[in-house]
Amino acid sequence: SMSDVYLGTGFSGQTEPTKHVISKELMTRMNKTIPAGTTLSSGLRSYGFGPCTDWSFTKLNQAVQSYSSSSFDSAINTLECSSGGTPVATAFDAAKTDLASAPGNIAVILFSDGHNYDISPATKVQVLKEQYGDKLCVYTVWVGNEKEEAGIAVLQRLSDISGCGFSTSASAIASSDGMADFVSKVFFKPGAEKDSDGDGVVDSKDKCPNTPKGAIVDRDGCWAFHGVLFDFDSAVVKAGNEAMFKNAIKVLKLNPTLTVEIQGHTDSQGAEAYNQKLSERRANAVKQILVDHSINTDRLTTKGFGESNPGASNDTEAGRAHNRRVAYKRTDI
């Protein structure tokens, strides 16, 4: 349906105003409106099916990377056509991996008519929100015609699920003032609290100040891996954590003078003395993985905290999983 002609206003200069073309034009205007020198990361993913998406239901047009106006413009230009259905749910599902390396707060912006969805994307947005928590907001832009007005409510629901963000329309952000207001609300927070280390968690809530640039942090602003690393009563690192270790290795290699203390933690199940030893084994297990990836052992120290420093309540399974973690603390400053 994105190949249909867009019948709204604000795009008189377009000779072939399909909804696909209008979506690209809006991205271009947004890109030009973001102030020069703004520190952001950007990525771009399209959806559909056919040659436009290399015969997949979704295509990564630009992996998440440091933002520049020129590189994002090049990514927009790869959106050459639209075809197939509207598998937005598949795109949101793929975004879980896309955003794994995204530092700071995350704004997901969806351009769509909210029409002809093969599968409702609501569940996928909920999963994404659960994964990234308060760091993630969803913004939707309705690029549709009168016959597709039901899509407005569909897109509004996606923004509502995120608990932040909002839904708007192509016509509302077509003007210079409209786009400037959109960019301001999405990318900038008026009077926002200071975030000295740039990790996306304001100083007043940041329990781990001075996080190194590029580190993926948890809700407390700490460079930590939670729950998924270890099963109960285990110091064996679970499979499926490659992205997390890649981030740690990347940060350490980008900051050659950085040294860290690897801190192991447990939940409260079991004897306190046993948990102390278990936390030490967990810290050493993570250290060994980093050493195996050419990180000098002299830059790494380990410490076990046992069950003494929980990050969540031990009264629930979710809280206990959160507490089975390894965290990093800078020791070079």
pLDDT at 190 over 70: no
SS3 216: coil
Residue type, 283: A
- Mean pLDDT over 275-303 rounds to 93
The domains located in the chain, with CATH, are 19-187 (3.40.50.410), 226-330 (3.30.1330.60)
Q: What does the mean pLDDT of the chain come to?
A: 88
Residue 95, judged by CB atoms within 10 A of its CB (0-12, 13-18, 19+), counts as buried
pLDDT tens sequence across 34-83: 999 899 999 999 998 888 888 999 999 999 999 999 999 999 999 988 87
CB 112 within 8 A of CB 142: yes
Which residue's entry shows tokens 């420093």? 309
- Mean pLDDT over 136-147 rounds to 93
pLDDT tens sequence across 143-176: 988 888 999 999 999 999 988 899 999 999 999 9
The confidence score (pLDDT) of residue 226 equals 53
Percent of the chain with pLDDT over 70: 94
